[in-house]
C-alpha cells in the first residue's frame, strides 16, 4: 500500500481560535478595550459568542496578546494594504539609457526620444555615457554629451543627480517634473481692434 502524500497547505499569518496552543492569553476586544489575562479557552468562547474569532496578534509577548475580531475582514484589509504598498513601490520605475562618447546623430535622436517618452510615463532615467579602451582619457566628452542631451530635453526634466564621473562612465539621474498649465490672458482679435468706434 502506497503511503499518501500530505498536501502542504499555506500557513496562516496569524494563529486563530484553537490553533492558539498556550494556556492563557492577554485579550483585547473588537473595540480595542483591554480585557486582561484569561484562559485561552474562555477567550475563544467569548469570541465565538460574538460570532468573531480570537486572533493571536503578538505571539512573542508574555503571555501572547490576542484580539477578538472578524478575521475574514481583517485578512481582506491587510491584503488591500499590501497591494497598495506594492503599487507604490513599483509606481516609479528606473530606466537606463546608454550612450557612447561618439554616438552618431541618428542614434542620439532616437535615444533622446526614448528618454522623453520615459519622462512622460513618469519614469526616472539614468543616462550613462560609457567609455571603452583609451576613450576614458577624455571624460570631458561624456560631460559635454550629457549637457547637450539636457539642452535637447528642455523643460519637464529634473536633474536629481548631476553628471558624475565614476569608473569608466559618466552618468546623471533624471526625473520628470509636473508642468503647471498657465492660462494665457485673452487678447482682442485684430479685426476687433480695427473696428471704428460708433
Cα distance between residue 193 and residue 198, in whole Å: 13
pLDDT of residue 13: 78
Cis check for the bond before 57: say yes or no (omega within 30 of 0): no
SS3 111: helix
The highest-level CATH class for domain 17-74 is: alpha beta
CA 88 to mean position of chain CA atoms: 3
Q: Which three cell numbers stand for residue 112?
A: 533622446
pLDDT tier at 146, thresholds 50, 70, 90: very high
Tens digit of each residue's pLDDT (9 = 90 or more) over 7-56:
444 456 789 999 999 999 999 999 999 999 999 999 999 999 999 999 99
What does pLDDT average to over the chain? 84
pLDDT on residue 184? 47
Helix (H, G, I), strand (E, B) or coil at 127: strand
- Per domain, the residue ranges of the chain are 17-74, 92-176
In this prediction the pTM is 0.46
Average pLDDT for residues 72-84, to the nearest whole number?
88
> For the domain 92-176, what is the CATH code?
3.30.110.10
Amino acid at each position: 500500500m502506497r503511503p499518501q502524500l500530505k498536501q502542504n497547505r499555506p500557513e496562516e499569518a496569524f494563529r486563530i481560535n484553537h490553533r492558539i496552543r498556550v494556556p492563557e492569553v492577554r485579550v483585547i476586544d473588537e473595540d480595542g478595550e483591554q480585557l486582561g489575562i484569561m484562559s485561552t479557552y474562555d477567550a475563544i468562547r467569548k469570541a465565538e459568542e460574538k460570532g468573531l474569532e480570537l486572533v493571536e496578534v503578538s505571539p512573542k509577548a508574555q503571555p501572547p496578546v490576542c484580539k477578538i475580531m472578524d478575521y475574514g475582514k481583517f485578512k481582506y484589509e491587510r491584503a488591500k494594504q499590501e497591494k497598495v504598498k506594492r503599487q507604490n513601490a513599483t509606481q516609479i520605475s528606473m530606466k537606463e539609457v546608454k550612450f557612447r562618447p561618439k554616438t552618431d546623430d541618428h542614434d542620439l535622436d532616437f535615444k533622446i526620444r526614448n528618454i522623453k517618452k520615459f519622462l512622460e510615463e513618469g519614469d526616472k532615467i539614468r543616462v550613462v555615457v560609457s567609455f571603452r579602451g583609451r576613450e576614458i582619457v577624455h571624460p570631458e566628452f561624456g560631460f559635454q554629451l550629457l549637457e547637450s542631451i539636457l539642452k535637447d530635453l528642455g523643460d519637464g526634466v529634473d536633474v536629481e543627480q548631476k553628471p558624475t564621473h565614476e569608473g569608466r562612465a559618466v552618468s546623471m539621474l533624471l526625473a520628470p517634473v509636473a508642468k503647471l498649465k498657465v492660462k494665457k490672458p485673452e487678447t482682442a482679435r485684430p479685426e476687433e481692434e480695427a473696428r471704428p468706434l460708433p
